[in-house]
Amino acid sequence: MSKAIVATTSLAGCFGCHMSLLDIDERILKLIELVEFNKSPIDDIKTFTKQCDVGLIEGGCCNSENVHVLKEFRKNCKILISVGECAIMGGLPAMRNNIPVEECIQEAYLDGPTVGNNTDKILPNDDELPMILDKVYPCHEIVKIDYHLPGCPPRADLLWEALVALLTGNELKLPYEVVKFD
């Protein structure tokens, strides 16, 4: 059986979902038999070098670069999966969604207690910086998402069972204890 090609990324996420994937422990040896990683922080491949079977997305979209990367994943992956609460609902970063973005920037760079010595009141304005969005968007509001794996992070067992079922075409059996929603 040829290996499935898998890509992963972290958008507005904390890498906890990637850590959970690594938490499958010794099953990672089996995973390497099943898949070849393409663009992913796991192998540090920065750009897609081939069409992928599965894309795993951690994190929602808080800036223009997140949107660009997510659209690239949709273009290059047959199946796209939102992994974790940040990808599914925006997660912790989406706590800013009820606050105008100008107020967030003001607090972060000018008024906040940890701003320190920004006496010249400089706001980040380099052209290379991605534009912050008006709010944090879950991935399915930007592109079509095929599956959602809940949890913060999803349990390693859930990631493993879902990936194996998807890659082998077997029925996905999810005992209650491997799914969590927080």
Residue 150 binds ligand SF4 (CB under 6 A): no
From the CB of residue 136, how many other CB atoms can be counted at a distance below 10 Å? 24
The DSSP code for 159 is: H
Residue 138 binds ligand SF4 (CB under 6 A): no
**By three-state DSSP, how is residue 2 classified?**
coil
State which of residues 153, 156, 162, 166 lies at the interface with ligand SF4 (CB under 6 A).
153
| 90: region left, alpha or beta (phi > 0 left; psi from -120 to 50 alpha) | left
Of the candidate spans 26-34, 84-92, 131-139, 157-165, the one that interacts with ligand SF4 by CB under 6 A turns out to be 84-92
Residue 90 binds ligand SF4 (CB under 6 A): no
State which of residues 5, 13, 24, 56 lies at the interface with ligand SF4 (CB under 6 A).
13
* Residue number of the CB atom closest to ligand SF4: 16
Output the six-digit token pair for 83: 């992994």
Shortest spacing between CB 63 and ligand SF4, in angstroms: 15
Q: What is the CA radius of gyration of the chain?
A: 18
From the CB of residue 181, how many other CB atoms can be counted at a distance below 10 Å? 9
Region 54-73 residues binding ligand SF4, contact defined as CB under 6 A: 58-59
The DSSP code for 24 is: T
Output the six-digit token pair for 95: 């706590």
Shortest spacing between CB 149 and ligand SF4, in angstroms: 10
The nearer residue to ligand SF4, 15 or 172, going by C-beta atoms, is 15
Place of tokens 């390497």: 32
For 89-112, give one letter per residue: b (16+ CB within 10 A) or e.
bbbebbebeeeeeeeeeeeeeeee
The nearer residue to ligand SF4, 11 or 167, going by C-beta atoms, is 11
Shortest spacing between CB 163 and ligand SF4, in angstroms: 16
Please give the residue ranges that form the binding site for ligand SF4 (CB under 6 A).
13-14, 16-17, 58-59, 84-86, 91-92, 152-153
